[in-house]
Amino acid sequence: MLFSEAQELLNDTGNRAIVLSGRGTPGAVLIAPSLVGRVLCSTFNCAKGTANGWINELAIRRGKTDPVFNNFGGEERIWFAPEGGPFGLMFGRKESKFENYCVQPGMSTVEYQVSDECSVSVLLEADFALQSAAGTVFNIHVQRRISAFESCPYAMEIRGRMEIVGFQTENTVTNTGAEWERTGGTVALWCLGQFLEHPHLCVIVPVYPVANPEASPATVDEYFKDFCIGGNFPSNRRVDYGKFVLLKADGAVRGKVGIKRDRATGRLGSYNPDDHHLIIVDHDFYPGLDYAAGYWRQYDDPFDGDALSVYIDGPEQVGGSLGVSYELETMSPALFLGPNQSFIYRNRTFHLRSDDASVVEQVCRQSLGVPLDQLEEFTRCAN
């Protein structure tokens, strides 16, 4: 889908379209306040470029009619963790199983109001309540400042021509109700970006090396209990190189992995070798704080969760239809806020592309610690 077509889609369906652009840059970012305040897509060229994110055109045209989850797609939507478990937000007071899954209105249907805007940024606001599996009610006010970047820190001192577009969301969460305490569980901000899968695409997970990886694995592969084939992320579709993990994102198999705070570096990436398109997502990371755990299974500590995660769509059973998108996801720490207390959390998304693979090589090595030849080899190898 072209960026201009995405803009027309919003207008045709009665959803306001806000376009942000860094000064003097051809790139642009498309915001949909009425669709839960999401960044719908970005583009390298607003005049004739394609939309970088995955957009669910059918869901947008249908409107907010799905009682389970209105998945409109988009490069960044704002949710709240934990998903499952004793304090989960997605299963009511039932077991964390797919048939019980239901996204609450504050993450599926709420419309954000525009309170300030200019050519490079917009401020969105919303009020809503969420209830956990433990019965705790969280009254929340969100301010969401979305800004288009004019440059990219990962491209500094890079020699050669490169197309760049990026944006930041600065998300301020205020507790407008009673205190959020450990005994009743709490929430965390969760930013999810959806991007198109591709036959040769791979996800890059930089990790800190440890002396005993068996005691502290790079990724949590047993995330879903019954939502992917076999229950674990397939071992033949991931490779752990010590300082980074590569995952296939071709849509052939569904799976999810998490990255806990002791192994996380604060960033994720993906790479498509066919057009040398590199995506880097980073966030405000606090490795010394607790992170909410929301796995769809039994676990011991509800505050020993992931700082980052990756979801790759695919069939529910062998021989099923392929997936279309994958998600790069970041989380804030667990938020233990008193009445009227606030927390600010920032998430950033960058797209970088070049006709010259050697230019992308520089970024991959310097920012993700991955040699491009290793990426190319992994993306082309058989499953």
- The yes-or-no verdict on residue 8 having pLDDT over 90 is yes
How far is residue 312 CA from its own chain's centroid? 11
Cα 319 to Cα 15, 102, 220: the distances in Å are 37, 26, 26
Instruction: Kindly state the average pLDDT of the residues 319-329.
Output: 84
**Cα-Cα-Cα-Cα dihedral of 209, 257, 369, 272, to 10°?**
160
* 139: confidence class by pLDDT, cuts 50, 70, 90: very high
Q: How many folded domains does the chain comprise?
A: 1
Instruction: Tell me the pLDDT tens digit for each residue of 59-111.
Output: 999 999 999 999 999 999 999 999 999 999 999 988 888 889 999 999 999 99
269: its two tokens: 């990436």
33 cis-preceded (ω within 30 degrees of 0): no
Please tell me the predicted confidence (pLDDT) of residue 168: 98
Both ends of the chain: CA-CA distance in Å?
29
CA distance 249 to 236: 12
**How remote is the C-alpha of 314 from its chain's centroid?**
17
pLDDT recorded at residue 210: 85
pLDDT of 382 above 80? no
pTM of the model: 0.95
**246, 378 in Cβ contact below 8 A?**
yes
Closest among 279, 345, 350 to 80, alpha carbons compared? 345
Mean pLDDT of the 333-345 span: 98
Q: Which residue has the tokens 């400042």?
A: 145
Residues of the domain holding 260? 3-380
- Average pLDDT estimate for 168-192: 97
pLDDT at 321 > cutoff 80: no
Is the pLDDT confidence value at 303 over 80?
yes
Is 36 or 253 the better-scoring residue by pLDDT?
36
DSSP 76-116: BEEEEE--SSTT-SSSTTS-S-GGG----HHHHTPPPEEEE
Contact 154, 363 (CB under 8 A): yes
Separation between Cα atoms, residue 22 and residue 345, nearest integer Å: 22
Q: What CATH number is given to the structural domain containing 25?
A: 2.70.98.10
Percent with pLDDT over 90 in the chain: 78
Grouping H, G, I as helix, E, B as strand and the rest as coil, residue 236 is helix
What is the model's pLDDT at position 383?
60
Residue 139 pairs with which residues in a beta bridge? 129
Amino acid at 228: C
Cis peptide bond upstream of 333, omega within 30? no
Q: Tell the burial category of 322 from Cβ atoms under 10 Å away from its Cβ (0-12, 13-18, 19+).
A: middle
